[in-house]
Amino acid sequence: MRVAAATVSYIGTDFFGYQAQPDVRTVQGEFEKALEKIFKQKLSCWGSGRTDTGVHAFGQVIAFMIPNENINVKNLKDGLNSVLPRDIYIRELKEVSEKFNPRFDAKKRVYHYYIHRSEEPNIFIKDRVWWFPYDLDIQLMRNASRYLEGEHDFTSFKSGNDKKNPMRTVNRIRILEMNNNILLIRVEGQSFLRRMVRNIVGTLVKVGTKTWEPETVKELLESKDRSVVPASAPPHGLYFYSVYF
Amino acid sequence: MRVAAATVSYIGTDFFGYQAQPDVRTVQGEFEKALEKIFKQKLSCWGSGRTDTGVHAFGQVIAFMIPNENINVKNLKDGLNSVLPRDIYIRELKEVSEKFNPRFDAKKRVYHYYIHRSEEPNIFIKDRVWWFPYDLDIQLMRNASRYLEGEHDFTSFKSGNDKKNPMRTVNRIRILEMNNNILLIRVEGQSFLRRMVRNIVGTLVKVGTKTWEPETVKELLESKDRSVVPASAPPHGLYFYSVYF
């Protein structure tokens, strides 16, 4: 059996998240429709991570079986891109081992969160960044992020309905000032709990506005109490950026 | 009579251009609907320039009469933005002289054209830039642009159905390599013929790919023959960037 891995970008705006669900438009659902158009049979696909409604991907990895022994992978990429909707695009497609599992084989996942710091919003990036018209103290945010790096019980930073083991390792958080008043928060780790990155960003922003001290983040982590963390940062600033295997 | 001037951004993708037309969605049509919602009466508006289907604006200037003597301009900006569709946004609104005419009073208009030079397209900027996966010689393009600066008969560079005086002055063309493989072509002049900027960009790109010599641009201008200029650059890379009065 041949297996392919696709590195996929999608604009999250018009999807009810990655995972297939009945009666709503999802990335997995649209991807499986494209596979069916090409291969004339129902096929499943597996992603490296589930993204929520409105969350984008630059480099989600999606694996699927190739039922046709003769098909050329380069042609397959072009063929799938020609039938995928305009908000999903396969950047790269390659054949991988038949044992490849995009979820469990992932050694590192990288998320990017983009904040647009400006008094006025810019409609051209409205659904692609979090527009934030208030002051942010970047150094305080960086200080706060140090408490989140390393292995911790992230109960305080998960979604209420995530029942997984809350122990996670955040390898690194980088906060970078880019051109055009864009602030990038880059979060790296092997795996994340549901809503964890958006809760981390929401918390760092509370520190940036001086609502909280950097040390509050340490207390939040130690409290292991889901109810103390503020609202998540909105989904439309978040990108599932890349996966390393 | 009070008159207001709005500096307006819009995403051209879902409009049949600026100018109001029956039965299609236009910027002027949507803007006049918003005025009617706020003032409870039909009102007209006037723009600094007409943009074609798919062309964006960062700083189109739109003027209209304020029929209510008591309204505060700051509140009016917020009120209009709250009823305008999500692909139009008023960045600035101010009261101007009642003699103000956004079209005839404009001393300088600036257009930006963005080309994304990359082997792979990027879906996040798909409708906002011209994706161009071939080599471009920037120096040749700059050399060619020199022939277009100054006062010329731009018959060769206009749309077939533009009957206006073809004498125009292009003050300056700048070609800048930006971050993320974006090439910006900035064109400044007092006024432009229909399709003129897109024809200029299409021509410079033909020089960049070495299909034409820079000197060919001089010959094209001198031929004053509409039929010799190649297809325009596509509309979705073009922005009506700013207007000076």
d(CA A189, CA A110) in angstroms, rounded, equals 7
Tell me which residue in B58, B121, B123 faces A87 most closely, judged by beta carbons.
Answer: B123
Assign A230 a pLDDT band (cuts: 50, 70, 90).
low
With H, G, I as helix, E, B as strand and everything else as coil, classify residue B73.
helix
| Closest-CA distance of chain A to residue B58, Å | 9
Asked whether A47 and A28 are in contact (CB, 8 A), the reply is yes
3-state secondary structure string across chain A: CEEEEEEEEECHHHCCCCCCCCCCCCHHHHHHHHHHHHHCCCCCEEECCCCCCCCEEEEEEEEEEECCCCCCHHHHHHHHHHHCCCCEEEEEEEEECCCCCCCCCCCEEEEEEEEECCCCCCHHHCCCCEECCCCCCHHHHHHHHHHHCEEEECHHHCCCCCCCCCEEEEEEEEEEECCCCEEEEEEEECCCCCCHHHHHHHHHHHHHCCCCCHHHHHHHHHHCCHHHCCCCCCHHHEEEEEEEC
Residue located via tokens 């005086």: B165
Rounded-to-10 torsion of CA B189, B193, B197, B200: -100
Pairwise CA distance, residues B119 & A218, whole Å: 45
What is residue B41's predicted lDDT score, i.e. its pLDDT? Answer: 95
Average pLDDT of chain A is: 95
Residues of B in contact with A56 (CB under 8 A): 124
A interface test, pick of B92, B116, B123 with most A CB neighbours within 10 Å: B123
Count H helices and E strands in chain B, helices first.
Answer: 5, 10
pTM for the predicted model, two decimal places: 0.90
Residue B87 is nearest to which of A123, A128, A179, comparing CB atoms? Answer: A123
Distance from CA of B9 to the nearest CA of A (A): 7
Q: Which amino acid is at B222?
A: E
Residues A123, B89: C-beta atoms closer than 8 Å: yes
When pLDDT is cut at 50, 70 and 90, the band that residue A54 belongs to is very high
Residues of A in contact with B87 (CB under 8 A): 123
Q: Which residues of chain B make contact with A9, given a CB cutoff of 8 A?
A: 122-124
- Residue A6 burial (10 A CB sphere; 0-12, 13-18, 19+): buried
Domain B2-96 and domain B108-244 have a common topology: yes
Helices (H), B51-167: 73-83, 138-148
Which tens digit of pLDDT belongs to each residue from A115-143? 999 999 999 999 999 999 999 999 999 99
ipTM, two decimals: 0.85
Catalytic residue status for B162: no
CATH 3.30.70.580 fits B2-96, yes or no: yes
**A48 with A243: CB under 8 angstroms?**
yes
State the smallest CA–CA distance between residue B139 and chain A in angstroms.
25
- CA-closest candidate to residue A66, choices A83, A41, A91: A41
B47 CA to centre of own chain: 11
B91 neighbourhood in chain A, CB within 8 Å: 120
In the chain, the amino acid numbered B101 is N
Q: How far is CA B210 from CA A22, B69, B175, B178, B205, in A?
A: 52, 59, 17, 22, 8
The token pair at B22 is 């029956």
CB contact under 8 A, B121 and A179: no
Torsion over CA: A68, A69, A70, A72 (sign): positive
**Contact residues on chain B for A179, CB-CB shorter than 8 A:** 179
Chain B residues contacting A, CB < 8 Å? Answer: 9-11, 56, 58, 86-89, 91, 120-124, 126, 128, 179
* DSSP helix/strand/coil, B204: helix
Beta bridge partners of B153: B167
Taking CA atoms, what residue in A is nearest to B239?
A124
Amino acid (one-letter) located at A196:
M
- How long is chain B? 245
Contacts of A169 (CB under 8 A, 6+ apart): A150, A151, A152, A189, A190
Contact A124 B122 (CB under 8 A): no
Residue A169 pLDDT more than 80? yes
What is the identity of the amino acid at B12? G
Tally A–B CB contacts below 8 A: 33
* 8 Å CB contact between A193 and A164: yes
Architecture (CATH level 2) of domain A109-244: 2-Layer Sandwich (3.30)
pLDDT tens for each residue of A207-222 = 999 999 999 999 999 9
> What is the number of residues in chain A?
245
State how far residue B22 is from chain A, nearest Cα, in angstroms.
26
Contact check, Cβ <8 Å, A128/B123: no
Q: For residues B134-157, b (16+ Cβ closer than 10 Å) or e, as one string?
A: eebeeebbbbbbebbeeebebbbb
Tell me which residue in A86, A88, A123 faces B9 most closely, judged by beta carbons. A123
CATH fold for the domain made of B108-244? Alpha-Beta Plaits (3.30.70)
Domain parsing of chain A, residue ranges: 2-96, 109-244
Query: Which is the catalytic residue, given B52, B78, B87, B225?
Result: B52
10 Å Cβ neighbour count for A16?
17
- What letter represents residue A183's amino acid? L
Interacting residues of B23 by C-beta distance below 8 A, sequence separation 6+ = none
Per-residue pLDDT of chain B (245 residues; tens, 9 = 90+): 899 999 999 999 999 999 999 999 999 999 999 999 999 999 999 999 999 999 999 999 999 999 987 889 989 999 999 999 999 999 999 999 999 999 999 999 999 999 999 999 999 999 999 999 999 999 999 999 999 999 999 999 988 777 889 999 999 999 999 988 999 999 999 999 999 999 999 999 999 999 999 999 999 999 988 787 767 899 999 999 999 99
